[in-house]
Amino acid sequence: MKYDPMTGEPIQEETPVNETPENEIQVNEAPVNEAPANGNLVNQVFDKVKTFVSNAATKQWFLPAAIGGGVGVVAIIAATALFLSGAFMTPIQKVATAAGNTFAEAGVLGDVLEATMKAVSNNKSTTRFMMQVQGQGMELEMRNSGKDVQIWGKGDFDGMPELEGTLTLNNKELQAYVPVLGDYVFFYNYKGENDGFIFDEVGDEVAEELNKMLEQIYSRKQDMDSEALKQMIKDLNEWVKDIDIEEVDKDEFEIDGKDVNCAGYEITIDDKMLLEYVEIICDGYIEYLEELDIDELDDIKDELRDSMYEEIADEIEGMAEVTLTVYMHANKLAAIIVEVEDSDEKLEILFEGGDYRAQNITVKFDKQKVLQFKGERDGKEEYAELIAYNGDQKMTLLEYEYDKKDGDFGLYIFGSMYDESPSVIFEGNIVLNNNGVEITDGELSSNGTTVMELEFSCTKGATIEKLEGERFDVGNADEDDWKDIVEDIQDALRGIY
């Protein structure tokens, strides 16, 4: 008997296969009284953690508040990432450094993310994505030379000819080439004078806004060149000096199969501290938008700032005090203990090591194991699984395996604790090197049916292709020019359709 992963109810299996449409995932109903009491294991585990947090806080704890914070959360995450990259002062710097060292090696999934980020941060990169579903698909390639930007795309869909097009933005022009429309390179000079028919129709104001937008895109700054973000990090450095952090007695934890003494630091977080943090982020975000010089924001920036702040602040005000006790060994994390004011329960995150510190991680709630990430490495081969626990019951949520020698990779997601085989599978080949990451022969399947084929790569360097064809000046063409080009496009399309 198999059970539905969301409800815990048994799934009937006697429905004939030929009655289910191809590629449709079949879910059948069953009597509720046959469901096991603990069928929905995953929800029970996370309900325990959620209850621990919500019951102890006066309103809600910071994490669920932040998750519901909308656009403000994006700014908070971005600023926090910049902040953690090196802004901490001693002794917090010790904690931040230990966290960085812990996740410096995080298996193949971490390696893919790291390789992608390195390629993109190089400011000269090529990102390619290909997706195909039931013989129809699309391919997209984004090229950034550090100066010019180019996007190339191709689509192949039923009942339509193959569509292909290229868009290029350089220091004075936006160019477009779509072969199906004829051998023309459409260009718009956003640095020059444009007084053609199209702007007689839409007006000079539209032209000015378009020119301004394209110039902003082309002359885009790297985030760390932003004076607003630099000031935000400076303000966060000042803010962190007031964090209540104290050294605590050493404690013993198991790492790499041995019990070791670990140094500890206790960090106290309250609503006042978090409100100051959110205020810095909101102010910095609005100042960053002001740097972009977007006219449309002038009238709403104050309202935007207030709504961002209030949306998160309403959830933070009155929250219970939270204490994080961070233990370290050999300049890496050993454990993080989370305690909430007026609660005797604890949330423990234990870094148990292995080939690297983050290879095996156990999460306990109220001394009971609720989640475990288990990994192992045998030469060039790597394997890991994520397991959920509820008392004596356990469920494998996902597994992955990777052979670094030949690049073969598999990710397997299980829909129910009663499933012997995974319900969702992604398999492919991953190549990682100093130039970036390349994923080929990717196949996503569900319950034995192929859902999608895909490929992805992000590598350093880019080649901007020169667009060849008869040039058509979009900004200065008169009405007769437009009539002629429309006729030519119609002729080109007749030959295809």
Q: What is the tens place of the pLDDT at every residue in 147-159? A: 899 999 999 887 6
What is the C-alpha to C-alpha distance for residues 472 and 234, in angstroms, rounded to an integer? 49
Residue 449 pLDDT > 80? yes
What is the C-alpha to C-alpha distance for residues 38 and 48, in angstroms, rounded to an integer? 13
Q: What is the pLDDT of residue 27?
A: 33
- Sort strands 346-351 and 361-365 into parallel, antiparallel or unpaired: antiparallel
Report the length, in residues, of the chain: 497
- Please say whether the beta carbons of 288 and 253 come within 8 A: no
Average of per-residue pLDDT values in the chain: 78
What is the C-alpha to C-alpha distance for residues 445 and 424, in angstroms, rounded to an integer? 6
pLDDT (tens digit per residue) in 304-329: 777 878 888 888 888 888 899 999 99
Least confident of 59-73, 169-183, 289-303, 423-437: 59-73
Question: Which comes out higher in pLDDT, residue 389 or 75?
Answer: 389
Distance of CA 449 to the CA centre of its chain: 27
Q: What is the pLDDT of residue 170?
A: 92
pTM exceeds 0.85: no
What is the C-alpha to C-alpha distance for residues 53 and 60, in angstroms, rounded to an integer? 7
pLDDT (tens digit per residue) in 41-98: 445 544 544 454 444 333 333 333 333 333 344 444 444 444 444 443 467 778 888 8
Least confident of 24-33, 325-334, 384-393, 441-450: 24-33
- Please say whether the beta carbons of 110 and 103 come within 8 A: yes
Highest-scoring range by mean pLDDT, 134-148, 247-261, 275-289, 391-405: 247-261
The two three-digit tokens of residue 170, written as one number: 């350089």
What is the C-alpha to C-alpha distance for residues 175 and 172, in angstroms, rounded to an integer? 10
The two three-digit tokens of residue 307, written as one number: 């709504």
DSSP per-residue codes, 368-407: EEEEEEEEEEETTEEEEEEEEEETTEEEEEEEEEEETTT-
Q: Given the structure tokens 């378009």, which residue do they identify?
A: 210
